[in-house]
Structure 1
Amino acid sequence: MKNIAVFASGRGSNFKHIYQNIQQGKIPAIIKCLITDNHKAGALDFARENAIPTFTISPQEFNSSHKFGQAIMEVLSRFSIDWIVLAGYLKKIPNNVVAVYSNRILNIHPALLPAFGGKGMYGSRVHQAVFASGAKISGVTVHLVNTEYDAGPIVTQRAMEIDDCRTPEEIAAKVLKVEHVLYSEAILKVLTKKFEVRGNRVEFKNE
């Protein structure tokens, strides 16, 4: 069993689905804690309802990214965390945390990276950009986290046609359903299969 820390800034819908899949025995892991930067995050309520320890750590409380990272690391060390799972976490992960957890931080992005990614591209902004572009296909990307926004090695992707969507909100709803399935699949895969990162490619053994 691997120890997971979930990071979330909002309602945490992916967090809830991951937790449910763990409880059903589909993922060999334990969510040991929730870390958020937002004391009003809906994810906090869900964590407390399920007796998951919560920690609110905001970068505004620190005078450097390094100290912000140290505060995060104190919590991760306390719970012997093996993997970090970002579920709608909007802050950049400090470099010192990325260094310690190299290739052990997962993020999910509601588009097909490297398109529609980067700083400031999250949530509804992504779907608005996809809709405005006239793209006929969108999708979901699960990737490892490095020191750049949405630039880490891709673990898995799933595409879908969105030609029938008439608003960004319709795209968002369609994508979210896939997120809930794909993220748990990706977590299971990285926890149970050996892989190597070569450049920006994730290569799983025996595939």
Structure 2
Amino acid sequence: MKSIAIFASGSGSNFQAIIDAIQEGKLDAQVNLLVCDQPNAFVIERAKNAGIPSFVFQAKQYKSKEAYETEIIEELNKRDVEFVVLAGYMRLIGPGFLNEYQGRIVNIHPSLLPAFPGKDAIGQAIRAGVKESGVTVHFVDEGMDTGPMIAQEAVSIDVNDTSESLQPKIHAIEHKLYPAVLQRLFSQGGNKNDEKARTY
């Protein structure tokens, strides 16, 4: 069973999907910690309800990214976390953290990367007038949504779709794809040096 930490900044719907998959026996993992940079985020309540401890911080209270990430690493080490899962975490991971968890950090992004990286990917797709978007699960590197891709799934964009109507379609894919990809990844070793893990 893989020991993981989930990083999130918002409502935590993907956090909940992962918890649900574990409880349903679909994901062989244990969530040992939630890391959140927004003290009022609803994901913290989800963690409480699931009996999962949280490390909540505000970046502005630290002198640097390195300072708060050093503290996060200490929290992860206390709980023997093997793998980091980003689920709506709105901060880039720094080089020290990447080095500590090299090949063991994954992210989910609401577009078919490399299209529409960064914030508001759903809105970007709508404004671009494309007929298709989707979801990408990828390993994390120093860039913004630039790491090696693990899995993608597409969703059609209807002519009348808006950001508000496309979002639940994207979320529905995310909530099924992320736990499934994590399960396959963990069963095959769980790092980016495993070529099989990239071919889903």
Q: Deviations over 1:90-126 (max 9, x none)?
A: 1112221111111111100000001100xxx23xx21
Cα distance between partner residues in 2 of 1:194 and 1:30 = 16
Cα distance between partner residues in 2 of 1:197 and 1:47 = 28
For the 8 Å contact 2:5–2:81, the answer to whether it is kept is: yes
Which residue does 2:163 correspond to in 1? 168
For the 8 Å contact 1:194–1:204, the answer to whether it is kept is: no
Task: Report whether the alignment pairs 1:204 with 2:196.
Answer: yes
Q: TM-score, normalised by structure 2?
A: 0.93
Q: Deviations over 1:104-160 (max 9, x none)?
A: 11100000001100xxx23xx211110111100100000011111101110100012
Cα distance between partner residues in 2 of 1:52 and 1:196 = 24
For the 8 Å contact 1:144–1:154, the answer to whether it is kept is: yes
- Offset at 1:194? 3.9
Q: Aligned in 2, Cα 1:75/1:195: closer, same or farther, shift over 3 Å?
A: closer
For the 8 Å contact 1:195–1:203, the answer to whether it is kept is: no
- Letter of the aligned partner of 1:95 in structure 2? P
Task: Report whether the alignment pairs 1:64 with 2:64.
Answer: yes
Q: Deviations over 1:154-195 (max 9, x none)?
A: 010001211344211111111110010110111111100147
Q: What are structure 1's unaligned runs of at least 5 residues?
A: none
Which residue does 1:180 correspond to in 2? 175
- Offset at 1:203? 2.2
Cα distance between partner residues in 2 of 1:110 and 1:165 = 19
Cα distance between partner residues in 2 of 1:36 and 1:165 = 35
What SS does the aligned partner of 2:70 have?
helix
- Letter of the aligned partner of 1:113 in structure 2? L
Between the aligned residues of both structures, percent identity stands at: 36
Cα distance between partner residues in 1 of 2:154 and 2:108 = 14
Which residue does 2:101 correspond to in 1? 101
Q: Matches of residues 118-137 of structure 1 in structure 2 within 5 Å?
A: 121-122=118-119, 125-137=120-132
Q: Aligned in 2, Cα 1:42/1:193: closer, same or farther, shift over 3 Å?
A: same
Query: Structure 1 runs of 4+ off > 6 angstroms?
Result: none
Q: TM-score, normalised by structure 1?
A: 0.90
